Amino acid sequence: MATNPSYGRRDFLKDSVVSTVRAAQELVKHAEASPSEAAVPAVRPDWLRPPGAVAEGLFLDRCTRCNDCVTACPPGAITAHPGDGTPILYADQSPCLLCEDFPCITACRTDALMPVSGVDQVRMGTAEISHRLCTAGQGCHACVSKCPTNALALDVALLRLLVASETCVGCGMCEMICKTVNDRVAIRVIPTRQMVRAAS
């Protein structure tokens, strides 16, 4: 391995000191962090609430973190938020299968998840498509055939996907399918709570 002839002992010592100072700063930063800060891992912000979830503020008041809905979910799509223990789903990992009898809602005894009259009443989020990343123009439309509410359609004239926001329930099936068949995910589910915050 060739060495830089201009890199001398003084440069080596200088780099060593800089590295030591940086390491010390990191140690101090970790030492000063409160136990609660150190214990909470980083969490992706794109998680969804289970079907039937009431408005976010009310949900946090009602949910007791009992995990009954987590246990009741047949495909195991619902998991506990690593920070506060509330139930969440990650669309690209395990989407909601919109079970016919919604066992997660039935299991909730605090009305954090409220009964729905049908799949069309579920509002977990809404799918958004990045047409720059989408490969529909190259013949891919796997997500269209897998959408349980027929909220996705291929515009043949424009060769691009369209989302019917009034029909989309945010189950995440499209996002998981896109991740499975493409190198880059072109469709994402925007959680309802984020949409409400943006609109207010």
Q: According to CATH, what is the number of the domain 56-199?
A: 3.30.70
Instruction: Report the DSSP pairing between strands 160-163 and 79-80.
Output: unpaired
Amino acid code (one letter) for 8: G
Tokens of 33: 């962090």
The Cα 43–Cα 197 span in angstroms is: 19
pLDDT at position 193, please? 87
Q: For residue 36, what pLDDT band results from cuts at 50, 70 and 90? A: very low
The half-sphere exposure of 23 on its side-chain side, counting CA atoms within 13 A, is: 6
Tokens of 75: 């495909």
- Stated pTM of the model: 0.73
Residue 104 class from Cβ within 10 Å (0-12 exposed, 13-18 middle, 19+ buried)?
buried
Q: What is the pLDDT of residues 79-92, one digit of tens each?
A: 999 999 999 999 98
pLDDT at position 38, please? 46
pLDDT at position 37, please? 47
Domain boundaries, the chain: 56-199
Tokens of 68: 């009954």
% of the chain with per-residue pLDDT over 70? 76
The Cα 70–Cα 81 span in angstroms is: 11
The Cα 130–Cα 186 span in angstroms is: 5
Q: What is the pLDDT of residues 89-102, one digit of tens each?
A: 999 899 999 999 99
- Give backbone dihedrals phi and psi of 14, rounded to 5 degrees, phi first: -60, -45
